[in-house]
Amino acid sequence: MVNLHIDPAFDDAERRRRLFGGDVLVYTHVPEVAAFAAYTREMITELFAPHDPLSIQTVHSPEQLADMLIEFKPRWIHDPRSMDHVRAIARALGCEPAKIHADVPKLRTAFPQGGLSTGIAYAFQVHRDTWYSAPKQQINWWMPVWPVEADNIMEFYPRGFGNVIENNSGDYNYYQANMWRSNIKEFSGGKDTRVHPAPVKPLDADEPRLTVVPPVGGIMLFSGDQLHASVPNTTKATRYSIDFRTVDRADVLSGAGAPIADVASLGTSLRDFHRLTDGEPLDESEIAPYDTADAEGVRVFVPYHHE
Ligand SMILES: [Fe+2]
């Protein structure tokens, strides 16, 4: 059972409890969210000027778009104003920034079907972020940059929450993935050969789905343990969205979080999370219970080429 809450009045503790139980929350009109979207629209508009960003795939080839995004996305991610917006949104929605650690925000581009869908613009198949080594405390925040539709957004598989779905997350090693990220261009062409955790058997065609379509200026929150996917973009417009992830340090210490009923990935992404007030990471002793001894590779990654 997944409940969808619209503009709930929960405090942050109640909200986290609901999210870890599988509920999805939407805040429809948050001025700080609108400001982040407006700032991002301005940067994207400048990048593609004089062309319309929503139909940019009719102007540039997939190869050109990959090159432009590989330059642009890290610049947007690491612009200090981007994290300022994340901090402002978290505070506006009742988080205490001194308790919250966040990963850098990501900008997603979903081109109409047939366009670039690998590497820097990877279209995610059915997955949980926890299959990608996200901690069970992780809360995902998702917001559109321009208006979105049910046919170019993301969808949930509500029956998957808390239930075992046979998957290959055991083949995924987060520290190995960090090394792939430093060479994202190699995976942005015809084939994307990285390990992408997925169900072993495709879900039934009639598996119930839930698509939530927030307005611009709105934001959706859900557990990183939700089963979800990118919807193949069957519209004519490119979809731009922002997502970022947070954990509350108290949950990391207490072990509170989502069920993670079927997660076998190696390593943890907890080292990517930095305190909203001063950028401090979690202590290694706090991360250790979530790490796996047999994961090898780059534990700390500076995400210049994050998709
Ligand atoms: Fe995801």
Query: Tell me: the pLDDT tens digits for 111-163?
Result: 998 777 666 666 678 999 999 999 999 999 999 999 999 998 999 999 999 99
Structure tokens at 144: 């559109």
Q: What is the Å distance from ligand 1's center to 226 Cα?
A: 8
CA atoms of 301 and 181, how far apart (whole Å) = 9
Q: What is the Å distance from ligand 1's center to 57 Cα?
A: 24
pLDDT band at residue 186 under the 50/70/90 scheme: low
Q: What is the Å distance from ligand 1's center to 51 Cα?
A: 30
Predicted confidence (pLDDT) per residue in 210-220, tens digit: 999 999 999 99
Place of tokens 């590989």: 70
Predicted confidence (pLDDT) per residue in 223-238, tens digit: 999 999 988 899 999 9
Q: What is the Å distance from ligand 1's center to 229 Cα?
A: 7
Torsion of CA 3, 122, 246, 17, to 10 degrees: 20
CA atoms of 278 and 269, how far apart (whole Å) = 19
Q: What pLDDT, on the 0 to 100 scale, is given for residue 2?
A: 85
Range with the poorest average pLDDT among 199-208, 214-223, 251-260 = 199-208
71 burial via Cβ count (<10 Å: 0-12, 13-18, 19+): exposed
